[in-house]
Amino acid sequence: MSKTKRTSRRFGKRSAGKDFNTFKQKLTKPFNKDSVFLSVVKESLASVLPIALIVLLLSTTLTPLSNNAVMAFLIGTVLLIVGMGFFNMGAETALTPFGQIVGKELTKSKKIWLIALVSFFIGLAITIAEPDLQVLAEQVSSVPNLVMIGVVAVGVAVFLVIAVMRVVLGVPLRILLLVMYGILFVLAAFVSPKFWAIAFDGGGVTTGPMTVPFILALGVGVSSLSRGKQAEDDSFGLVALCPVGPIIAVLALGLIYKPDDLVYVPTAIPDPANMQETALLFLRALPSYMREMGVALAPIALFLICFQIISRKISKKEFLRIVIGLLYTFVGLTLFLTGANVGFMPVGRLLGANIAGLEHKWLLVPIAMLIGYFIVKAEPAVGVLNKQVEEITLGKIPARAMNVSLSVGIAASLGLSMVRVLTGVSIMYFVAPMYGISLILSFFVPKIFTAIAFDSGGVASGPMTAAFLMPFAIGACLTISGAEAVFTDAFGVVAMVAATPLITIQILGLAYKIRTAKATKPTADLSAASYEVLTDGVIELE
């Protein structure tokens, strides 16, 4: 063998070994004592711990639960904390940078048909894989699962195309929202009231942990080629439009499928006899959620490979980093969903049923509000949104202000949801005024607050809402009104959670606009045009 060949072979082996060692180091880096993983887990602990303490307090006082149910809840809590840690690492290293790269490259191409085609594919692929959508489809027995999932996915895909085109063509978000929600409520007038809550929930569940980080990053990438404040305003708003598509699509479906005979069929709540059976519940569920997450991430992985083959815009180092981030995302969401669905869902339904069975049923309202205030912080995509808002606005809109606004909004939405369960008032009497107020506010607050508010509505209604808050409402409704009222009185929790942040965050923007206007009055040497530029900027939050 020649010296050149021997050298080439040795070099190939060394190169392959070096690549493997690099991959191994990057994969295990989060577990080093000096890594950020421990800090991320601490953040997750701070988010989940308050809701865990509230549930434990209720289970030992007002609504006693069995020891095994409490133990399942504690195991689920641990899985949630670790899962959120992995997910946040994955979103930061994979979903966010990849989405930004795709957005930039699509806009650079300046080919409208290509931007529309890729956006449609992204919306379709990610939505089909959303685990929350699978749960919702199972509940609507009068419509085949594949039909419901397909219609919702097409709705998201079409409106993601519209959202991206809005940024590319510079169409004002508030005008587009006004037109689309107008179409939505006109269509609702021709659909059975039993389909209203299902349709609005369909819009909420589509913006889950898989969809939000990628679409948020896509918006940042697409808007990055704009200049100045226009880029900042357009960085948000893609998630805002995506939920409108499935609501309109499901309402249209309600014209075909008549849900008048629709009755909710309660699923059996597992009742483990001992600790061993409790552990087996999680072990049996884990492979199922691994498959779900594998299916969910497969379209993104395939798109990553195709994008790299065609464009070659991602460096080898960055490509490796994104692959590792996808592995973190897979592990994180698998653990999170296992903990939420096996540990939290049964306890949520039991608590709702037990509190509704008390002499003072009105306690549902304050207890639900307390849970809602803290539970939004445990939504995996909320942290991604808050961090991106803080980064894009250079700290002018801090994560703390976002957290408080979201918590207040979700607390209000849960209180109103329990009023619906207690009284049977139609969801339309709540969501129509909420959307009306939020659309009116959009004409009086800085543009970026409107975009962030509507994005926040989609982000807040994630897997924790589907796995804990919805079962809580269903359990209460089954005790008070029975299974025949579940679709009209209990469903709609996701929609309420998605609607209230639209108001609270825009009120925050309005308050700071007024405060800043008082602090920055025009002087004689400022022209009207320069003053308009000054006061139309992003409001700095203290």
Query: Which H, E and C letters describe 52-63, residue by residue?
Result: HHHHHHHHHCCC
Is the Cβ–Cβ distance between 448 and 393 less than 8 Å?
yes
Kindly tell me the sign of the dihedral angle through the C-alpha atoms of 37, 39, 41, 47: negative
Query: Which single residue is written with the structure tokens 């290509």?
Result: 114
> For the chain, what's the residue count?
542
Question: Over the stretch 405-452, which tens digit does the pLDDT of each residue have?
Answer: 888 989 999 999 999 999 999 899 999 999 999 999 988 888 888 888
Predicted confidence band at 521 (pLDDT cuts at 50, 70, 90)? low
In whole angstroms, give the CA distance from residue 486 to residue 473: 9
pLDDT at 527 over 50: no
**Residue 68, SS3 per DSSP:** helix
206: helix, strand or coil: coil
For residues 490 and 13, the model is more confident at 490
Instruction: Please report, in angstroms and rounded to a whole number, the separation of the first and last CA atoms in the chain.
Output: 71
pLDDT of residue 528: 40
Burial class (CB in 10 A: 0-12, 13-18, 19+), 147: middle
User: Quick one: CA torsion of 204, 44, 501, 131, rounded to 10 degrees?
Assistant: 0
Q: Is the pLDDT of residue 48 over 90?
A: no
- Judged by average pLDDT, the poorest of 22-26, 170-174, 206-210, 485-489 is 22-26
Q: Distances in Å between the alpha carbon of 201 and those of 12, 232, 378, 493, 497?
A: 54, 30, 19, 7, 10
Residues 6+ apart with CB under 8 A from 218: 99, 100, 102, 103, 119, 122, 164, 238
Residue 448's SS3 state is helix
Q: Say what percent of the chain tops pLDDT 70.
A: 80
- pTM comes to 0.77
Confidence of residue 389 (pLDDT cuts 50, 70, 90): confident
- CA 459 vs CA 133, 270, 433: distances in Å: 14, 30, 21
Confidence of residue 526 (pLDDT cuts 50, 70, 90): very low
Q: What is the pLDDT of residues 97-115, one digit of tens each?
A: 888 788 778 777 777 888 8
Per-residue pLDDT band for 142 (boundaries 50, 70, 90) equals: low
Q: Of 44-58, 191-205, 248-262, where does the model show the most confidence?
A: 44-58
> For residue 386, which of 463, 501, 225 has the smallest C-alpha distance?
501
- The values of phi and psi at residue 261, to 5°, are -100, 15
> Reduced to 3 states, what is the DSSP secondary structure of residue 16?
helix
